[in-house]
Structure 1
Amino acid sequence: MDARQIRSAADARAIVEERDLKYLKVGLFDGDGIMRGKYMARDKFLSALEGGFGFCDVVLGWDSNDQLYDSAAFTGWHTAYPDATVRILPETCRELPFEPETLLFLAEFAERAETICPRGLLRRVLKRAEGLGLTASAACEFEFFLFEETPHSVREKNYRNLASITPGYYGYSMLRSSVHAEFYAELLSFCSAMDMPIEGLHTETGPGVLEAALLHDEALAAADKAALFKTFTKVLAQRLGWMATFMAKWSPDWAGQSGHIHISLKGRDGEAVFHDPSKPSNISDTMRWFIGGQQALMPELLSMIAGTVNSYSRLIPGFWAPTSATWGIENRTCALRAIPGAPKAQRVEYRIAAADINPYIALAAAIGSGLWGIEQRIEPSAPLQGNAYERKPPASQRLPATLIEAAGRLRRSKAARELFGDAFVEHYAQSREWEEREFRKAITDWELQRYFEII
């Protein structure tokens, strides 16, 4: 039986028995998009297929560095960190090329924990789309830097003077990709085997930076693939003695790393709803309202897209990252790029997103705000022509400048609470406020260099 054929608990049980697997690997993604999981013995796994299993809810109560939030209401010392119920998702079964004696299954939080589960959040948004007679397709594309380093060496170097796998700029380089052809081949093959196929792979401008565009799929499956791609690209790199980073901006000398999201919608008849040949640039009313909602809510939802302190280092003029809630037709200086074309190809590119996104939360924000725009028939501004960086945006299009400001905007957003629920908004906002407070404890190299002697 092929892992891609698994659709039900019965199918999952059958493949485990057919292969006589002793252990299964089960994982889920937390609020920061980090994969948490474990190996499960066969009998426990088969039992959990039917009734779920308990997973310590501390993974919903700590940050990416395993430090406990100080103001989370959902869980904490006040609840004593009990188990939360988790359901296994048979249809997510995947081969693990490095571990042929097991299979990988994704899981998600259920019951009360489902209200703040990132995957559950996206499912609720997509259910909203269904209520409008719509289904969403999506694809993520990620830029990531590769280094000839290890987890030990980067710490020994204090993350400075790192050796990239290649020097210089060399965007779209056939030279670089040919020299490292074995790595490219292994990454392409590995991603195909794990059902997260790459549609395009090339070097970007910068030392050791690549861009991978994942093949589009139904939005929930696309988020699974994006989250798995980030995790297992890092796994593959480290197994080769390298390291990959998906930080939004790892160096002041180079442009940030994008994580653009492409989105399209279909109606009940399976036909594309963004395309209308009678309208300018084939942009239908539905697509225009979708863009209008995304544009209107982007300042309020930015922390769901730019969820780290580092995210805001990327959002500066002239470095291929948007700086305000603008949109344009085939305009790569805007936060939203409308891409006209054939009915199946017409889509919106959500360019504000960086490589550090949690794909589930980012897709929920990007799609949810667009659906809100359709429901409210929100008209966007006129499409911007030319260089968006040279234009002073109106107040309604200005974006929060810091994570803590963005978290505050989310907390105060009535639309966010209506789209995502009070429980998620409160929990996520406090987690982002915590993240910035942790940053405030740090003394940066810049501060030392600027103030140590002269002040």
Structure 2
Amino acid sequence: MESSDVKTAEDVLALVDERALTHVKVGVFDIDGIFRAKWMARDKFASALKGGFGFCDVVLGWDSNDQLYEDPAVDVTGWHTGYPDAEVRLLPDTARDVAFEPDMVMVLGEFAGKWEAVCPRGTLRRVLDRADAMGFAVKAAAEYEFFLFDETPHSVREKGYRNLKPLTPGFFGYSGIRSSVHADLHLMFLEMCELMDMPVEGLHTETGPGVMEAAIKVDDALVAADRAALFKTFTKVFFQRHDIMASFMAKWSMDYPGQSGHIHTSLTTKDGAPVFHDPNGAHSMSDTMRWFVGGQQALMPELLSMTASTINSYTRLIPGFWAPTHANWAADNRTTSLRVIEGSPKSQRVEYRVAAADANPYLAMAAAIGSGLWGIENRIEPGEGVTGNAYAKKFPAKAALPGSLGEAAARLKRSMAARELFGDGFVDHFSASRMWEEREYRRHVTDWELARYFEII
């Protein structure tokens, strides 16, 4: 049996026994999209498949630096609860082989019980349940830009994250030279992605030293999110094993464009018939697609913290650097935050371009899809489509994107639409976690402040 054949608990246990594995790798993704994993003994794994298992809920009570949220607004866990074990259910149909661990099987989990309300994967699943209740299935795909550095986790710390050496020099997008020089490395990388069921449709150099872009194959939205989350994790693993570091920071240097995590989405009926395409509509958009885009545009400022979730994310959202500054749309125009891609019934889709590479893929997809469904439910008409350079145009004040993580988190907390789509538990927890991130940032003095104020002011 192959891991791709696994559908049930019985299937995955049969695969484990066929390979004579003593342990299985299991893991969950936390609120920041970080993979928290461990090896589990075969007998405990068999038991967990039936009744779930406990995973210390501190992973929902700390930030990306393992610092506890000292914030009473974070209610699901904390010192006041004693950090008990959270309930986790295993998902046999996520089983896959693990690169670099011969014959190893990995299975993803979701938080359950009271923790389900704040589970990133569970949040997306609830959005997809909403689509199902509306009669739709959702197709999605993520594409990521990431920088590669001739560095190690030790060397970047020894350098204080300064004077880092990109894997390749200069601006050289779509370079046949760079990809050929490093062909052995990149082909091994593509092979790993296939092995782990996160197939890459396209891989090329982007504009900037050492930067790559990868487009992951389209699939059902929950599968696409699993692939995206694992892609970010195991891209880092693969390159670190070759003494190279991959970074998905939204912007590591103000000298270069930021790194996006664009999301492509489309809807079908439950039997697979596309619903976004209408040959008689403007840009071949059906009413359903137009309302979907309208909802995405209307809610984008309120949901921005779910797609631009770090302090650094907001350094990317500036004019002229291939990232949007307002909630707007256009047909096949990369200066807007929503790009309608006109094509055949099967390929007609919308690209959610505001999302950064540093976002949690489950939450970014939940925002992109949930807002679109809300648009359909409320028949929200989008504003006028942009022609030409969106950076050179003026838009209504309501279309402006929040300029900081703190502002974006406050908008999310106040959003009634977000609470309707994702639940009060998620909105309160996630907005509190982002406000914590903002406060942690304000506790530090930056190099820019020292250089600007130390002597002169």
Give the TM-score range, shorter chain: over 0.9
**Out of 95, 98, 103, which is 1:96 matched to?**
98
Match of 2:212, SS? strand
Cα drift, residue 70 of structure 1? 1.5
Aligned length: 455
Cα drift, residue 101 of structure 1? 4.1
The equivalent residue for 1:45 is 45
Cα drift, residue 97 of structure 1? 2.4
Query: Which stretch has the larger CA shift, 423-432 or 97-106?
Result: 97-106
Query: Which stretch has the larger CA shift, 101-110 or 16-25?
Result: 101-110
The equivalent residue for 1:386 is 388
Unpaired runs of at least 5, structure 1: none
C-alpha contact 2:199 2:216 (8 A) present in aligned 1: yes
**Out of 171, 176, 179, which is 2:178 matched to?**
176
Residue by residue over 1:280-324, the C-alpha shift from the partner in whole angstroms, topping out at 9 and shown as x without a partner, is 211000000000000000010000110000000000000000000
Whole-angstrom CA distance in 1 between matches of 2:178 and 2:446: 34
Cα drift, residue 393 of structure 1? 1.7
C-alpha contact 2:31 2:60 (8 A) present in aligned 1: yes
C-alpha contact 2:319 2:325 (8 A) present in aligned 1: yes
Runs (4+) of structure 1 exceeding 6 A deviation are none
The equivalent residue for 1:416 is 418
Aligned partner of 1:55: which letter? F
**Out of 126, 129, 136, which is 1:127 matched to?**
129
Cα drift, residue 396 of structure 1? 1.5
Whole-angstrom CA distance in 2 between matches of 1:374 and 1:321: 26
The equivalent residue for 2:427 is 425
Map 1:210-229 to 2 at 5 A.
210-229=212-231
The equivalent residue for 2:359 is 357
Whole-angstrom CA distance in 2 between matches of 1:206 and 1:161: 15
The equivalent residue for 1:26 is 26
Whole-angstrom CA distance in 1 between matches of 2:180 and 2:270: 45
Match of 1:372, SS? helix
Aligned partner of 1:322: which letter? P
Aligned partner of 1:21: which letter? L
Aligned-residue identity in percent: 66
Map 1:63-82 to 2 at 5 A.
63-71=63-71, 72-82=74-84
Whole-angstrom CA distance in 2 between matches of 1:436 and 1:354: 17
Map 1:194-233 to 2 at 5 A.
194-233=196-235
Cα drift, residue 62 of structure 1? 0.4
Map 1:236-251 to 2 at 5 A.
236-251=238-253
C-alpha contact 1:139 1:215 (8 A) present in aligned 2: yes
Cα drift, residue 382 of structure 1? 1.0
Match of 1:137, SS? strand
Whole-angstrom CA distance in 1 between matches of 2:185 and 2:7: 32
Aligned partner of 1:423: which letter? G
Whole-angstrom CA distance in 1 between matches of 2:17 and 2:439: 49
Cα drift, residue 434 of structure 1? 0.1
Aligned partner of 1:109: which letter? F
C-alpha contact 1:87 1:107 (8 A) present in aligned 2: yes
The equivalent residue for 2:115 is 113
Match of 1:260, SS? strand
Match of 1:454, SS? coil
Match of 1:310, SS? helix
Calculate the aligned-residue CA RMSD, in Å.
0.6
C-alpha contact 2:322 2:335 (8 A) present in aligned 1: yes
Whole-angstrom CA distance in 2 between matches of 1:311 and 1:149: 23
The equivalent residue for 2:57 is 57
Aligned partner of 2:171: which letter? Y
Whole-angstrom CA distance in 1 between matches of 2:334 and 2:104: 43
Unpaired runs of at least 5, structure 2: none
Residue by residue over 1:248-296, the C-alpha shift from the partner in whole angstroms, topping out at 9 and shown as x without a partner, is 0000110000110000100133211000111121100000000000000
Map 1:318-329 to 2 at 5 A.
318-329=320-331
Aligned partner of 2:39: which letter? Y
The equivalent residue for 2:372 is 370
TM-score under structure 2 length normalisation? 0.99
Query: Which stretch has the larger CA shift, 317-326 or 445-454?
Result: 445-454
Residue by residue over 1:323-348, the C-alpha shift from the partner in whole angstroms, topping out at 9 and shown as x without a partner, is 00010001100000000000000000
Match of 2:95, SS? strand
